[in-house]
Amino acid sequence: MPDPLVLAVDIGTGSTRATLFDAAGDLQFVARAPLQMSSPQLGWSEQDPDEVVRATVNVARKALARAAGSGIAAVSFSAQMYSIMAVARNGAPLTNSIPWTDTRAAVEAEEIRAEPGVSDLLAATGCPVQAIYPLSKIRWMRVNDALPDDAMFISIKDYVLWRLTGRLVTDWSTASGSGMLDLVSHTWSTTALSVAGLTVDNLPQLESPLTQLGSGDAGMLTDLGLPSGTPIVLGAGDAPLSSIGSGATTPDVLAINIGTSAAARQTITHPAIDPSGRLWTYFATEDRWVRGGIVGSAGSVYDWIIDLAVPDSGTTDDSYSRAGELAESTPPGADGLMFLPYFSGEQSPAWRPSSRGAFVGLNLHHERRHLVRAAIEGVVFALQRVRLAIEDMGDGTLREVSLTGGVTTSHVVRQIIADVLGLPVVVPPGHEGSARGAAILAWVALGAAESIDAFARDTLPDAPRLFPNEDAHTAYQSLYEDFVTIADRLGPSPNSKETTP
């Protein structure tokens, strides 16, 4: 009989996935289901939590059917960070789930930043006070939603796990993306609780990402045919798990993921906080944290450009291929066309929610190929801003980039990243880095792997590096300075109330 597999469930923003990984860390199967997003008002984003549960159950059922001949060693979870919803004491939803894309709490974030003690909040939690974080959104919800005093505030991952297992708990990693977890003590920050107007009773129980829940007899997992007592590993947030799954577990590797959004992260061995609030720091697991920043509009912006420049191109792979051909036919700098990707505002490192996307320098000479090339370069320039802020913190010299995400299947995207950053780029096999990270947590929790570092590194093949073109890198250094200048000029005016923490 084949060796048992780990079922790793990854609850994203646009889809939920159930994957099967073997003990060597190799992906054996993946089932995906799309998730819908509603926007009832400008700047709002919501998801039906029960739809997320249904989608998760459906893909899990497919994965379990595929694993019938092998068996399941454990189930582990990865999920989108920053989501928040209110539930009653019995777990029944009182609101929809509000994901990271929602900016309704911008005023609340501004109010919190003006309060005394905000520097203590940043130092404790590692999260800048911004509208994307549940801390600000909870404050908005308590004022604008008719919620009982004993309402609990949980992530979408917590809700799915409650429905599946009957346990209402959260992991330190997901909690660290709320802006309310003390990164050192692994407890809810008393300062954050005061700011949000909550007590610990309004938040779920905290546990290590390696905690094994056990499926028990409650919840839906037993209905799927999973044997009672199968270890349920709590798992972590998708950002830290993406770093673990891609092998970027040491401070000298910059992990870049380009999906709907994009992020650049460095794994560190201590919870170091950026005192200026440019970057966030999140808990990964036991002795690892990740520090980095996010570009809110990345893959979504690229897809939007492709829809304009390569209409009726068929499948996503076809459209990326044709867009790549257009970009490769265009020199670095897109013949003077600059693109700002801040369609949903600028996040790290400047944190300017009112910033917007723009093409700058457009003239009658420019064609579709210039639009595509400029779009890629704009996203990578935005990531370069995050990379330089990371290096400014002084935790080791970055020697290479580990690149994940669907957009990065394009060779030209990979090459532009190498050329702008001036670093070799390695692309780990597969596109399920967060799910693989969740599977690694499971094998470590079960005692089948010595450590996360060793497992993540030793089970990845030595993929070839894509090296930067020195001439292109030199050209991009000057273009990057132009990008920063334009971004700053098109950001909020000096009299704007919008400031960084």
312-328 per-position pLDDT tens digit:
765 567 788 888 899 99
Which pLDDT score is estimated for 396?
A: 78
CATH number for the domain spanning 372: value is 3.30.420.40
Overall average pLDDT of the 258-266 stretch:
89
Which pLDDT belongs to residue 500?
A: 43
Q: Does some domain include residue 499?
A: no
Q: What token pair was written down for 168?
A: 């209402």
Q: What span, in angstroms and rounded, lies between the C-alpha atoms of 408 and 320? A: 9
Q: Are residues 404 and 440 in the same domain?
A: no
DSSP symbol at 205: E
277 within a domain of the structure (yes/no): no
Average pLDDT, the chain: 90
In terms of domains, do 66 and 108 share one? Answer: yes
* Mean pLDDT, residues 64-91: 93
**Global model pTM greater than 0.85:** yes
Is residue 240 one of the residues assigned to a domain?
A: yes
Residue predicted with more confidence, 275 or 453: 275
Is residue 34 located within the same domain as residue 176?
Answer: yes
286 occurs within a structural domain: no
Instruction: Examine the domain organization and report whether 454 and 477 are in the same domain.
Output: no
Rg from Cα positions in the chain: 22
pLDDT at 368: 93
pLDDT of residue 286: 80
In this structure, the answer to whether residues 238 and 342 fall within a common structural domain is no
Quote the CA–CA distance of 237 and 133 in Å, as a whole number: 14
Co-location of 230 and 119 in the same domain: yes
Provide the pLDDT for residue 226: 85
The answer to whether residue 281 sits within a structural domain is: no
- Whether residue 454 sits in one domain with residue 467: no
Name the percent of the chain lying above pLDDT 70: 95
| 477 and 357 housed in the same domain | yes
Residue 501 confidence (pLDDT): 44
Name the band, by pLDDT with cuts 50, 70 and 90, for residue 73. very high
Query: Which residue in this structure is represented by tokens 């596109």?
Result: 431
Tokens encoding 180 = 């309310």
Mean pLDDT across the stretch 204-221? 81
Cα–Cα distance, 68 to 158 (Å, whole number)? 27
- The answer to whether residue 112 sits within a structural domain is yes
Higher pLDDT: 35 or 458? It is: 35
How many domains does the chain contain in total?
Answer: 2
State residue 219's pLDDT score. Answer: 66
pLDDT value at residue 285: 87
Query: What confidence tier does 493 reach under pLDDT thresholds 50, 70, 90?
Result: very low
- Provide the residue range defining the domain that includes 60: 5-246+433-458
Q: Identify whether 494 is part of a domain.
A: no
218 and 303 part of one domain: no
Same domain, yes or no: 106 and 178? yes
Give the span between the Cα atoms of 443 and 452, in whole angstroms: 9
Q: Are 94 and 56 in contact (CB under 8 A)?
A: no
Q: What is the pLDDT of residue 49?
A: 98
Task: Report the share of the chain in percent with pLDDT over 90.
Answer: 71
For 107-113, what is the mean pLDDT?
94
Stretch 217-225: mean pLDDT, rounded? 71
Give yes or no for residue 332 having a pLDDT over 60. Answer: yes
SS3 427: coil
- In a shared domain, residues 40 and 78: yes
Is 355 part of any domain?
A: yes
In this structure, the answer to whether residues 188 and 137 fall within a common structural domain is yes
Amino acid 495: pLDDT: 37
Q: Pick 79 or 405 by higher pLDDT.
A: 79
